[in-house]
Chains A and B, each alone.
Chain A
């Protein structure tokens, strides 16, 4: 049952937990319809108008937890989905005159409006929503800051303008534009947008006895407190039935070495290049800047590199990326024919699995490190550049590279606009769609600020191995580090 003061995160976590538990117990099919009743027992509603609506929201979330669309639309392949019953249809008249309006004599707002949308009558200025074009000039002009910009939080969060409203003001996602970054999922105050999950698929394969390998993203360190090392996590993951766990930081090392080669070559040829690790950034290039697609590095992502390494070791392996990222799910789906991870889960989903299998989240006293500190730092903005610089130094190449580090989707967009126009001053773009990097990803359990101290404590324990040194152990496994063109 959900408590009265529960937040959206805990409702999502509760649904994932219930679904994971029933899936592990093999009872999901028969008990699925009971979940809304066990989570919302009633008779009083907690957050919405009535228990029926609350249960409908849970029902749609149960579908998402199984990878389905909330309402059974089979044409929609988007990862990010709207839970229609949860959308409150927030007001769409963006600029609103507040009570701060002094009905002043200068009427700067009226003068600033090029569309004649503002009239002064009665006690304050008024904006005619039919005439308003949402330019914001009135709000800038008002000497009392009396005009509020109340753009819908979902729409405001979207860096690529993929969010619109239908006739009933319910949010709609334009899947041609959506880059699956998940910003709207984090920002909707009603939890009306969420992501589809491979949770039950992974559980079913674990139950089927297939060798399933987890690959935990470098952002994981700090997600489970200051004492749980990545090696403890591997133990915990194996206790659930996984055949093993690999650090994606190891794939990060492989990527840094490959990028270093590619960057040196591009630099010699005078070509500009972008990173390829962040799938939301790659989606942004593909969908919004297709003319610069050739500038994306052909090196695969750390996830794909780790998966290829595991499959080189064990060709029967099923690989599951576990990270803070929602766009990784789209990478899995879109690169199905390019030998990459088979599934992707978020840390939230991993946590639900731990709870469902009653795995205690505590140190196991183990201490094994797979990724170098450079691979581990891929998870924060600037980390990829840092690792490539290190790889260049280790290779004896020129490491004085000029990189535009784009921290967040808006900076990515600006840099790509310049690249497209041929006016980017830097030689390389490091693209990270989440502000701060993966450590701020939408699939995290703890936000970057909360996890920061613990993360730094764990990272400070990592040894100082270099990238090349770390790769030596794996040199006997042969696989390509590049994607298909």
Chain B
């Protein structure tokens, strides 16, 4: 599956780079390389409080500190 992280300026200032880094570490930690692909994106026009992240067809609003919770709840629990 593909996780798309917005790299627009607004999300950048909210920490998109940290979110990418966290996700990268988590993907490595759970040995999901080759199954989970991280991808960037222009502004997805879903600007909310956090960094805009898309997994399959759903949008999420993440902060660097909520990234692990998102990963465990939304990524690990599904058949990737």
Contact = CB atoms under 8 A, between A and B. Distances in A.
A binds B: yes
B35 to A, nearest CB: 14
B63 interface: no
Given A72-B45, A74-B45, A333 B7 contact: yes
A67 B11 CA distance: 14
B43 A66 contact: yes
B12 A337 contact: no
A337 B42 contact: no
Given A336-B7, A342-B7, A67 B42 contact: yes
Given A201-B9, A337-B23, A77 B38 contact: no
Interface of B: prevailing SS: mixed
Interface in B2-46: 4-5, 7-10, 12-13, 17, 20, 23-24, 38-46
Contacts of B38: 336-337
Interface residues of B, number: 21
Contact of B20 (A68, A202, A210, A337): A337
Contacts of B9: 200-205, 208
A68 B13 contact: no
Nearest to B12: A205
Contact of B8 (A72, A201, A210, A336): A201
- Which of B4, B7, B41, B44 has the most chain A CB within a 10 Å cutoff? B7
A336 B51 CA distance: 14
Interface of B: 4-5, 7-10, 12-13, 17, 20, 23-24, 38-46
Contacts of A446: none
A464 B41 CA distance: 41
Interface string A46-77: 00000000000000000000111000101001
- Per CB-CB distance, the 6 closest pairs between chain A and chain B, nearest first, are A336-B40, A204-B9, A67-B42, A201-B9, A337-B38, A333-B40
Interface string A185-199: 000000000001010
B43 A333 contact: no
A208 B41 contact: no
A74 B8 CA distance: 14
A77 B13 contact: no
B12 A342 contact: yes
A332 interface: yes
Nearest to B17: A342
Given A68-B45, A334-B40, 8 more contacts: A74-B46, A77-B42, A201-B9, A332-B40, A336-B5, A336-B20, A336-B38, A336-B39
Contacts of B42: 67-68, 77, 196, 198, 333
Interface residues of A, number: 24
Nearest to A202: B9
A318 interface: yes
A298 to B, nearest CB: 16
B41 A77 contact: yes
Nearest to B41: A77
Interface in A303-326: 318
A318 B10 CA distance: 14
Contact of B4 (A67, A77, A203): A77
A333 B13 contact: no
A203 B40 CA distance: 19
Given A202-B9, A337-B24, A68 B40 contact: no
A401 B34 CA distance: 34
A204 B20 contact: no
A299 B44 CA distance: 31
A67 B40 CA distance: 13
B39 A333 contact: yes
B61 to A, nearest CB: 15
Interface string A75-89: 001000000000000
Contacts of B10: 204
7 contacts: A67-B43, A198-B42, A201-B43, A333-B7, A336-B20, A336-B39, A337-B20
A423 to B, nearest CB: 30
A5 B34 CA distance: 52
Nearest to B16: A336
A74 B43 CA distance: 9
A337 B13 CA distance: 17
Nearest to B11: A201
A76 to B, nearest CB: 10
Contacts of A202: 9
Contacts of A204: 9-10, 13
A334 B43 contact: no
